[in-house]
Amino acid sequence: MQILVTGTAAFDTIETPFGIKENVLGGSAIHFSVAASFLSLVRIVADVGPDFPAAHLKYLETKGVDTHGIRKSEQPTFAWKGKYEYDMAVAHTLDTRLGALASFDPELTEAEKKAPFLFLANLDPDIQWKILSQMETPRYIGLDSMNFWLDQKKEKVWKVLKKADVLFLNDAEIRQLSGEASLIKAARLVQKNGPSIVLVKKGEHGVLAVGKDFTFITAAFPTETVKDPTGAGDSFAGGFFSYMADQVLNAQATVSEQLIRQAVVWGAAVASFNVENFSTNGLDKISREDIVSRCLDIHEFTRFERHG
Amino acid sequence: MQILVTGTAAFDTIETPFGIKENVLGGSAIHFSVAASFLSLVRIVADVGPDFPAAHLKYLETKGVDTHGIRKSEQPTFAWKGKYEYDMAVAHTLDTRLGALASFDPELTEAEKKAPFLFLANLDPDIQWKILSQMETPRYIGLDSMNFWLDQKKEKVWKVLKKADVLFLNDAEIRQLSGEASLIKAARLVQKNGPSIVLVKKGEHGVLAVGKDFTFITAAFPTETVKDPTGAGDSFAGGFFSYMADQVLNAQATVSEQLIRQAVVWGAAVASFNVENFSTNGLDKISREDIVSRCLDIHEFTRFERHG
């Protein structure tokens, strides 16, 4: 196990102007782990209900995801229903059934406590803190959250993020967290008071990364077909995190500015495949080489000679 | 004269959450020419009223802008009043007084007809066509338009843009022109049916450039202080166009993909200064070296090593 991810495993019902899909496999931990599976060994820690099909577990296992941390609850699997308008930018929640998620409070196994990379996908920050507290000596900690928790428990989110190495939020969330309208000011403010890297997800407009001594901005891959943006942020996080884990654990690289820039682009490339289809289907028929190819495309789309 | 620009000279009244300015110098041709003045000799062709202060003409002349093409009308100078909300992304028009603009239909002088670079700033496409038709053999033609003309005279905009080498539109406008939601598809569709380059302006999210054989995406400079976005698009166009004119006319460069990429970044850098203050004041205290420096910053913010 290289990466431990905790978050949701869910049934998603998605309405877009281009189609509707009912009760497909979704959830933050699922999108993250499928996206990370191209480079890293990931174990999911999540609760699902008796209604969670064995076929979903089997599917994850064929992707190389370790499903032994998926606990069976007596409550039904968490379910989310959302809708996107024509611009596909913002998800409007139509319905939420917490089910198994309401009582999610896992006790980690000894092996799980030893995972070198920990990703806390979007979840109640009190639960994120309890999971974090069980870990022995994680080398790299990633954190995601959302507007709901920033409304309800902003101080708790701050408490967790001070322990994180990298924070993932979208543009609206970082403004809400920091109380600052300018994205660059908002990201710098949070970066100075917490994680060494803040990654601001801007959807089709790419990603702003603010580190200790540098700023990096990448475009999103300009995909022509966006069918379902659900999980784009989790896929970006899975791509980024697995690239870091692979380089640090397998290639013995140190966490450098150059590595972070490449990991951001890798995450953006993975996310661009995810949005091209419903559920995790956009990642089903691609290989590691396809992701490399899209990273090279992003490089080609954004390069220019220095002036002067 | 290297560049001839036709468009508006205006009195702008601007409301933002951070302040209000009344009757300041504005207009598409003004913002364009001040932005272009760092690299090129620009003549403005526009109508103003008896109320247009001599001090404004003097100001433009100190920037090196050729004001001899500014005609005096008996009607008052065009005036626009607009408001920006907290996100500073979209201008809401509160009031428009056409004045001199209503009868704008200039007859070009022999010297003006011979300008090698022509920029048709946002204007009635019928007038744009009449100006274009008077030109002798312009080497490079740029065109801007807006949602109002796409509503009223879309076919006329198409007629003019088929003659243009480069088209400037924002994201909403290119979607409206093409009837295509995906920006990359929209830009490609227009590019294949008209100008050799389509530049999609995305405000704080940068610029998407689609040429015959390449796509280029640049981030905007992440300026911390946006005081007034009015004229950002015109400043971008002035920066881009003057960079092309300078390289082609002064440095004998050919119009290459590399040149276009650099010109886009130059335009983005100039626009980022424009938004930092009201009217054209953001460009008043900077030098060519400051623009170069910001281009180098954009390079630093966006560079990454190729994967694999």
Q: What is the pLDDT of residues A26-71, one digit of tens each?
A: 999 999 999 999 999 999 999 999 999 999 999 999 999 999 999 9
CB–CB contact A216 B304 (8 Å): yes
Q: Measured between CB atoms, does B261 come within 8 Å of chain A? A: yes
Q: Tell me the C-alpha to C-alpha distance, in Å, between residue B243 and each of A302, B39, B117, B292.
A: 19, 7, 11, 11
For the residues A266-287, what does the mean pLDDT come to?
A: 97
- Reading the block at residue B189, the tokens are 């569709």
B182 touches chain A (CB under 8 A): yes
Confidence at residue B207, expressed as pLDDT on a 0 to 100 scale: 98
* β-pairing verdict for B19-26 and A166-170: unpaired
Residue A84 — pLDDT band, cuts 50, 70, 90? very high
Q: Which of A26-30, A84-88, A211-215, B109-113 comes out lowest in average pLDDT?
A: A84-88
Determine the Cα–Cα distance for residues B165 and B142; give it in Å rounded to an integer: 6
B262 touching chain A per CB within 8 A: yes
The answer for A 191-210 residues in CB contact with B (under 8 A) is: 202, 204-206, 208
Contact in structure between A243 and A38 (CB atoms under 8 Å) = no
The pLDDT confidence band at residue A308, using thresholds 50, 70 and 90, is confident
Mean pLDDT, range A287-307, rounded to an integer? 98
Residue B87 confidence (pLDDT): 76
Q: Kindly report the nearest CA distance between residue A295 and chain B, in angstroms.
A: 7
**What CATH code is assigned to B3-302?**
3.40.1190.20
pLDDT range class, residue A112, cuts 50, 70, 90: very high
CB contact under 8 A, A225 and B303: no
Q: pLDDT tens string for chain B (308 positions)?
A: 999 999 999 999 999 988 899 999 999 999 999 999 999 999 999 999 999 999 999 999 999 999 999 999 999 999 999 999 877 888 899 999 999 999 999 999 999 999 999 999 999 999 999 999 999 999 999 999 999 999 999 999 999 999 999 999 999 999 999 999 889 999 999 999 999 999 999 999 999 999 999 999 999 999 988 999 999 999 999 999 999 999 999 999 999 999 999 999 999 999 999 999 999 999 999 999 999 999 999 999 999 999 98
With a CB cutoff of 8 Å and minimum separation 6, the contacts of A93 are: A80, A81, A82
How, if at all, do strands A78-84 and A207-210 pair?
unpaired
Average per-residue pLDDT for chain A? 96
Using the predicted structure, report yes or no on whether residue A89 has a pLDDT greater than 90.
no
The whole-angstrom separation of Cα B173 and Cα B203 is 13
Any chain A CB within 8 A of the CB of B259? no
Say which DSSP state A278 is in.
S
Q: Taking Cα atoms as reference points, which of A110, A58, A302, A30 lies closest to residue B218?
A: A302
Write the residue in B86, B295, B308 that is nearest to A307 by C-beta: B295
Q: What is the C-alpha separation between B208 and A265, in angstroms, rounded?
A: 18
DSSP B250-289: IS-----HHHHHHHHHHHHHHHHHHTTSSTTGGGTT--HH
Query: Rounded distance, CA A275 to CA A56, Å?
Result: 20
Averaged pLDDT, A72-79: 96
Q: What is the pLDDT of residue B88?
A: 81
pLDDT(A267) > 90: yes
In this complex, do B258 and A305 lie within 8 Å of one another by their Cβ atoms? yes
Query: Residue A280: its pLDDT value, please?
Result: 96
**Is A261 in contact with B305 (Cβ distance < 8 A)?**
yes
Which residues from B are below 8 Å from A217, CB to CB? 219, 222, 301-302
Is B302's CB within 8 Å of A225's CB?
A: no
Provide, as residue numbers in chain B, all residues whose Cβ is less than 8 Å from the Cβ of A303.
261, 303
Residue A181 has what pLDDT? 86
Helix (H) or strand (E) holding B15: strand B10-16
Encoded amino acid at B202, one letter:
K
* Smallest CA–CA distance from B88 into chain A, residue: A181
CA distance B130 to B133: 5
Residues B186/B247, Cβ–Cβ less than 8 Å? no
Torsion of CA B243, B246, B252, B257, to 10 degrees: 10
**Do the bridges between strand B117-120 and strand B140-144 make them parallel or antiparallel, or are there none, so unpaired?**
parallel
Among B217, B244, B272, the strongest candidate for a mutation testing the A interface, having the largest count of A CBs within 10 A, is B217
Choose among A13, A24, A16, A30: nearest CA to A231: A30
CB contact under 8 A, A205 and B208: no
Contacting residues for B28 by C-beta, under 8 A, at least 6 apart:
B7, B8, B121, B122, B123, B144, B231, B234
For residue range A118-177, list pLDDT tens digits in order.
999 999 999 999 999 999 999 999 999 999 999 999 999 999 999 999 999 999 999 999
- Which residue, chain included where needed, has tokens 């007629």? B159
Q: Which of residues 80-99 of B touch A (CB under 8 A)?
A: 86-87
- Which pLDDT value is given to residue A86? 77
Residues 6 or more apart in contact with residue A165 via CB below 8 angstroms: A140, A141, A142, A195, A196, A197, A255
**Residue B217: which of A262, A295, A301 has the nearest Cβ?**
A301
Q: What is the pLDDT of residue A252?
A: 94
- Chain A residues whose CB is inside 8 A of the B305 CB are 258, 261-262
Q: Is B77 helix (H, G, I), strand (E, B) or coil?
A: coil
Q: Where are the domains of chain B?
A: 3-302
Whether the CB of B18 is below 8 Å from some CB of chain A: the reply is no
Contact yes or no for B219 and A215 at CB 8 A: no
A54 — contact with chain B (CB < 8 Å)? no
Q: Residue B17, Cβ neighbours under 10 Å: how many?
A: 12
- Using a CB-CB cut-off of 8 Å, the residues of chain B touching A182 are 224-226
Res A185: pLDDT: 95
Please report the number of interchain residue pairs, chain A to chain B, with beta-carbon separation below 8 angstroms.
106
Q: Nearest residue of B to residue A86 by CA position?
A: B181
A239 touches chain B (CB under 8 A): no
Could you say which DSSP state residue A103 is in? Answer: G
Beta bridge partners of A92: A83
**CB-CB neighbors (< 8 A) of B207 in chain A:** none
State the pLDDT at residue A119: 98
Closest in B266, B300, B307 to A295, CB measured: B307
Q: How far is A273 from chain B (nearest CA, A)?
A: 16
